[in-house]
Chain A
Amino acid sequence: MTIAPGVDAALGRCVEATRALFGAAACSIALVDGDGSTLTYVASDGAGADEIVGVSMPVSRGIGGWAAMSGQPIAVRDVQSDPRFARDVAESTHYVPSAIHAAPMLDSDGEVLGVVSVLDPVVEETSDWTLNVLGTIAGLMALVTAAAASAPATVPQPLAQLGSDVLRLVASWEAGDSGRSR
């Protein structure tokens, strides 16, 4: 797990837990900069994590940018055929995914704080279930982000523990259901 300097560790635990939940190759959070035109990756876990953190790109690029602009979660199954897929960014991380799920992180005022992206999740098929779960998690990540922004290092304990709690649940679920069927 990699986080940018000054970013709350709770966000790092969130991406770690979300990657485990989806059995994904990687999970990342990108936050919107001050003027609303750029997304910067601040936390990542899995393939390419070290390379992607710190990378900035315009909100009009990539699948994550689309989720941020429309305010709607999206799943794209064959991103490499998407001409707007940020291939150069993916290649710079040495991992080029075939599927991306992305959801916007919205604060209580409805403003877009960032985007959470999941690369190559292990799911039986694309469904509304994945988008509903990812959308819900993105909302929780927005709470963590907003809390950290308003009072650094004082993320409320229940939120700070969110990632750890999810990881524990995933571990116990996998231990009890090795078939991973849903």
Chain B
Amino acid sequence: MSSTPAWSGAFDRGALQDVARLPLDDVRAWAFAGSTGAGVKVAIVDSGIDGDHPRVGGIAGGVAFQVDPDAELGYVEREGPHEDLVGHGTACAAIIRALAPESEIYSVRVLGANLKGRGALLQAGVEWSVESGMHVANLSLSSKSEAMFGPLHEIADHAYFSGTVLVCAANNLPGPTYPSQYASVVSVAARPGDEEMALAYNPRPPVEFGARGIDVDVAWADRGSITATGNSFAAPHVTAMVALMQSKHPWLAPFQVKAVLQAACINAVQH
């Protein structure tokens, strides 16, 4: 076992090493300045979203996937409004709304009041995001199921080639988790600091980016707020940054989005 903490430890200030970036001048201004996220469709694949929460300010639409043993695929899909069962999705939505206020947020509920079949619902949620033309999808959840490695890898590649950027929270559990492990996604862990737009790059993947996720004041269920820590809250900060740059530069392909994110990191230097 490594003597240093996994993932997030790589983003401690003392551990950060310089990484070479593309020769882009003032990349943060180019990518983010003046952008509101307008015109960008953002899917939040999670527990649902309370669109009436004052920190969310409404959502553009949504779909809920629910386990149904009698259904052909083992689940059913219901378009339309639904509640957030725990507050997790609402927390992610509020973070994105604060940073990209005019982005179009869609709730893709795959977490329900039952723990069975999580992997299949996650796959269905990502598929819906791609087929519905989402520009970026936030996945603050993951699967450790080896059986889901292939199906989730396939849909992650499909998203990559379709232009849907998948932003995935890494997991603090030992061993690989999917889809955060794949090269086709933007993988994120929490790093120290309270700057909402700060970003760090880890030259030793699979977890590539560190963003704010420790002691974050987040929206929660029942119109409330809590102070919480987790990679779950780091991912939406990066999702919002992706939405901001896609709004200004809609032609950006997923691999270009990742290059711009890397160039915008605090430890990226020009050689």
Per the CB 8 Å criterion, the residue count for chain B at the interface is 53
Give bound CA distance, A69 to B227, whole Å.
19
Task: Tell me the minimal C-beta distance from B29 to chain A in angstroms.
Answer: 30
Could you tell me if B113 and A70 are in contact, using CB atoms closer than 8 angstroms? Answer: no
Could you tell me if B172 and A81 are in contact, using CB atoms closer than 8 angstroms? Answer: no
Q: CB-CB contacts of A137-163 with B at 8 A, as 1s and 0s?
A: 011000000000000000000000000
**Is A82 part of the binding interface, using a Cβ–Cβ cutoff of 8 Å?**
yes
Could you tell me if B173 and A128 are in contact, using CB atoms closer than 8 angstroms? Answer: no
Give bound CA distance, A68 to B114, whole Å.
10
Give bound CA distance, A109 to B224, whole Å.
35
Give bound CA distance, A131 to B173, whole Å.
8
Given A128-B7, A138-B173, CB of A83 within 8 Å of CB of B220: yes
**Is A66 part of the binding interface, using a Cβ–Cβ cutoff of 8 Å?**
yes
Give bound CA distance, A109 to B116, whole Å.
12
Task: Tell me the minimal C-beta distance from B206 to chain A in angstroms.
Answer: 15
Q: Which of A6-14, A30-38, A46-54, A166-174 forms contacts with chain B?
A: A30-38
Give bound CA distance, A58 to B228, whole Å.
21
Given A77-B215, A106-B144, A126-B229, CB of A69 within 8 Å of CB of B115: yes
Per the CB 8 Å criterion, the residue count for chain A at the interface is 45
Task: Tell me the minimal C-beta distance from A41 to chain B in angstroms.
Answer: 16
Give bound CA distance, A36 to B47, whole Å.
16
Could you tell me if B7 and A132 are in contact, using CB atoms closer than 8 angstroms? Answer: yes
**Is B66 part of the binding interface, using a Cβ–Cβ cutoff of 8 Å?**
no
Identify the closest chain B residue to A81 (Cβ): B226
**Is A5 part of the binding interface, using a Cβ–Cβ cutoff of 8 Å?**
no
Chain B residues closer than 8 Å to A109, beta-carbon distance? 145-147
Which residues of chain A from 75 to 105 have any CB-CB distance to chain B below 8 Å in the complex?
A: 75-79, 81-84, 103-104
Of A58, A112, A128, A132, chain B has the most CB atoms within 10 Å of the CB of A128
Give bound CA distance, A62 to B145, whole Å.
24
- Interface residues of A, Cβ cutoff 8 Å to B: 32, 35-37, 58-60, 65-66, 68-79, 81-84, 103-104, 106, 108-112, 125-129, 131-132, 134-136, 138-139
Show 29 A/B contacts (Cβ-Cβ < 8 Å), sorted by A. A37-B113, A60-B113, A66-B86, A69-B111, A69-B112, A69-B115, A70-B88, A70-B141, A71-B118, A72-B140, A72-B142, A72-B169, A73-B171, A84-B220, A84-B222, A108-B146, A109-B145, A109-B146, A110-B118, A110-B144, A110-B147, A110-B148, A126-B215, A127-B229, A128-B229, A132-B7, A135-B171, A135-B173, A139-B174
